[in-house]
Structure 1
Amino acid sequence: MAEIEDGTGITADLVRDLLREQHPDLAELPLSEVEGGWGNQVWRLGEALAVRVQRMDTDPVHQLQERRWLPLLAPCLPLPVPVPVRSGAPSERFGKLWTVMTWVPGEPLDRGEITRGEHAADTLAAFLRALHVPAPADAPADTGRGAHPRDCTDGFDCFLGSLDADVIGTDAADVRAVWDDAVAAPAWEGPPVWVHGDLHPANVVVADGTLAGVVDFGDLFAGDPAVDLAAAWVLLPPGAAARFFTAYGRADEATVRRARGLAALKSLFLLLMGQNGERGLPGGKPAWGPLGRRALDRVLVERPDPPVSRAAADDFLRR
């Protein structure tokens, strides 16, 4: 049981046994492990489904949020997202949650590439315009991912201080300047909107050189859209951020500044995960280092201008 609890004992046989116990009509479909994942492990089930199994994540709230909210949000979104179709309850054999969801076709961006930058910028903007609408009063509250940059400075300092000098290079002062500008930006004053909360290259999929889907909504919450707008630098290729913000059409200057700082934070996280992977540390992702380096380069050179006014941004949310 200890191996299962820490995620190392989740096997195809275990997943198939869980299906036989709770959803026998699905148990004989072809089953294969999907590479990647940390908090949750994903197994593809047949052609159209996937099984999302808690691994290192010990908090059931993430899967419970996906079960509750994704069926409501998915019809309103212009890209495919995983929709829960069956619920797996904790059992004596496996004491955590698991959920059968729809499969989102495509290759994760951390193993793929965006070659159609303008199309991807427009696609991401349309997706976030659709997602970033005022959330209901009972939407999940922000647990820290959507905090103003000024409340994330400890994390920024930790990431920056943990990177080897040759990884961050001579850019440390420039990165600090971007962060300081974000910290000084006014806070979000609009209504809390739906926010994905964790847009990075492993949580989007690509096909035909452009964005094709968004996955892993475990951190979904209501808050500041700047958290997701950081994806303009983290996901899109060079030169695409300006087109993205033009297409998005509702980010004022302060929101762009916060988003750029949060993109720097996410870039440092990717670099650190890459460094940890190179050292063979648990949870490290060697392939993420180059992704973080390229994202940070974009953060340092791209500052979209001009953004819309605060009044124009507010007008979008009132419609």
Structure 2
Amino acid sequence: MPDKPAAEVDIDAALIRALLAEQATHAIPEAATLPLDKVAEGWDSEVWRLGEDHAVRLPRRALAAPLVRHEHLVLPAIAERLAPVGVRVPAPVVRGVAGSGYPWAWSVVPWIDGERALDEPAAARGAWAETLARALGALHVDAPADHPVNPFRGVPLAGRSGATAERLDALRAAGTLDAASATALEDVWGRGLEAAAWDRPPVWIHGDLHPGNLVSHEGVLVGIIDFGDVTSGDPAYDLAVAWLAFDAAGRAHFIAATGTRYDAATWRRAHAWAAAVVLMLLAQSNDNPDYLALGSDAAAEVIADGRG
């Protein structure tokens, strides 16, 4: 079960200040002198807060570099669609390019005040279930032919059966999942495979929608972040958030708030995708207790839901 990959480039304050001085002062005149503090380091990128109002997002490995370019391409239009819902996204203020010894695209984005929904009790998240449903309704519109391609997100479930089975077998063998839980998750995946496939035009999907990429403040959903995996396809992939973010009551509220936009087969596929994401979290979060706990909590939600 892999730990976080090593960074392929050294990112420090001096490098970021050089990039800002070279490329950002047209949009933010004081960019090169604003306070700068590292606030997050994920598998793919680092995030540094710049002053009170902005953040700098930089890939830490080559595999992630195209993800930032995808955000440059699509986030301005997505921000417009979600604005009436009151949910912000990190649309780039500066579309950075390679420079000052740094090899890839990078961004300056708005800072969205709030807390990770991951740090909020699941029972409390139901307060903004309707807002998230409306935000996804605004996001899930037909995507153009030149959308960013992601071979793993929003695709037919059958295309991910091999990887899902491998993770399930590994977790069962390691004792991370007991036999009953493993069988239950396998059954959920199987029911998703049996459901009718998405047969309408592909829609925009976030591609990595879970509580770590949702921002709330005082019981209100205020932001959706990290669109690096944005692509188009089956919206069921995003709808897996119903089991990743909510308890049973919040999930019922979220599903009801989507109205008739998604049919029963879509929700069955979403349930299956939630099971697959649970397996991914349990298999790949050894170095991140927050996401390991999310995987465990979400597994319980997926298994407890008797959706047929």
TM value normalised by structure 1: 0.86
Q: Tell me if structure 2 keeps the 8 A contact 1:40–1:55.
A: yes
Please point out which of 221, 237, 250 is paired with 1:227.
237
Q: Does 1:141 align with 2:146?
A: no
Please point out which of 206, 210, 227 is paired with 1:196.
206
Instruction: State the distance in 1 between where 2:9 and 2:64 align.
Output: 17
Q: Tell me if structure 2 keeps the 8 A contact 1:114–1:120.
A: no
Q: CA deviation at 1:304?
A: 5.8
Q: Does 1:261 align with 2:262?
A: no
In structure 2, what is the equivalent of residue 168 of structure 1?
A: 177
**What is the identity, as a one-letter code, of the residue corresponding to 2:61?**
M
Instruction: Report SS of the residue matched to 1:167.
Output: coil
In structure 2, what is the equivalent of residue 248 of structure 1?
A: 258
Q: Does 1:85 align with 2:93?
A: yes
Q: Tell me if structure 2 keeps the 8 A contact 1:62–1:219.
A: yes
Instruction: State the distance in 2 between where 1:130 and 1:303 align.
Output: 29
Q: Tell me if structure 1 keeps the 8 A contact 2:153–2:231.
A: no
Please point out which of 75, 92, 103 is paired with 2:111.
103
Q: Which of structures 1 and 2 has the larger relative contact order (alpha carbons within 8 angstroms, sep 6+)?
A: 2
Instruction: State the distance in 2 between where 1:140 and 1:90 align.
Output: 20
1:264-303 to structure 2, matched below 5 A, reads: 264-274=275-285, 276-277=286-287, 285-303=288-306
Q: Tell me if structure 1 keeps the 8 A contact 2:216–2:222.
A: yes
Q: CA deviation at 1:76?
A: 1.1
Instruction: State the distance in 2 between where 1:211 and 1:162 align.
Output: 36
CA RMSD of aligned residues (A): 2.0
Q: Tell me if structure 1 keeps the 8 A contact 2:125–2:245.
A: no
Q: Tell me if structure 1 keeps the 8 A contact 2:268–2:307.
A: no
Q: Bigger CA drift: 184-193 or 86-95?
A: 86-95
Instruction: State the distance in 2 between where 1:108 and 1:256 align.
Output: 25
Q: CA deviation at 1:6?
A: 3.1
TM value normalised by structure 2: 0.89
Q: Does 1:42 align with 2:47?
A: yes
Q: CA deviation at 1:92?
A: 4.9
Q: CA deviation at 1:102?
A: 1.1
Q: CA deviation at 1:114?
A: 4.4
Instruction: State the distance in 2 between where 1:286 and 1:96 align.
Output: 30
Instruction: State the distance in 2 between where 1:195 and 1:23 align.
Output: 29
